[in-house]
Amino acid sequence: MEISTRIPVPGTYNFRDVGGLPARGGTVRSGRLFRSDGLHRLGDDGRAALRRLEVGVIVDLRDDNEARAMPDDLDGLDVEVLRLPVFEGSGASQGGRGISLEALYQRIVTKHSAVVVEALREISTAGERAVVVHCTAGKDRTGIVVALALLAAGVDREAVIVDYALTEGHLAGEWLEEMVALIGDYGVPDTPELRVLMGGSPREALESALDEVERSHGTVREYLIASGLDHDELAALEAWLIDRD
């Protein structure tokens, strides 16, 4: 099974292409949909990499406080930026509240379905432009939105879960240590549970959210329709993402 690969975009740790994932009747197009952690440290080299990748749309899922503290470094790029704050925040922002990833993801799919729909609508109308979906880590909010986009387009469920689970390997080390230190400044102790919340991507977390969607609506597509996406938009999303065999 092909899985998404990290692209070494300077200033990022978890910038990946979901191209190549197996789907019903084809595969995900390469160079179309990217997922990433924060874009606030791109610099000249990082921005040049986005130009080479022909990125034209950026969907930013961070809350307002995150975006103010770490504004995307996009000066000089010809990109459309869509801000869709998920106010539940990232796992990192929930670090002192004792919440689990499973509970956080349940909140996203149940309380923020309108944000998911708007993100998928934007993706489906990108045309020839590549799209980057990102938050701070590129795993929680980004993970849910990208997973639902892929599943709506007919991508294999196991492939989507495997893609999600890759994230923690990219965040381990420098990114995670920096975030642990940052949140420690606010009095949150460094614990194994905190590290899972901030940098972990156990498959069970995504599975629990998908199980909730399927339990309530039958399929991801029906969930999205109930949340406001119409059949034509779903068809456009699938056509944009999937390269037919």
Where in the sequence numbering do the catalytic residues fall? 135
Stated as kind and residue range, the H or E segment containing 147 is: helix 141-152
**β-strands 55-60, 242-244: how paired?**
unpaired
Q: Render the burial of 177-203: b for 16+ CB within 10 Å, e for the rest.
A: eebbeebeeeebeeeeebbbbbbbbee
Cα separations in angstroms, 137 against 81, 140, 234: 18, 7, 27
**β-strands 80-83, 55-60: how paired?**
parallel
Residues 157 and 153: their CA atoms lie apart, in Å, by 11
Residue type, 216: S
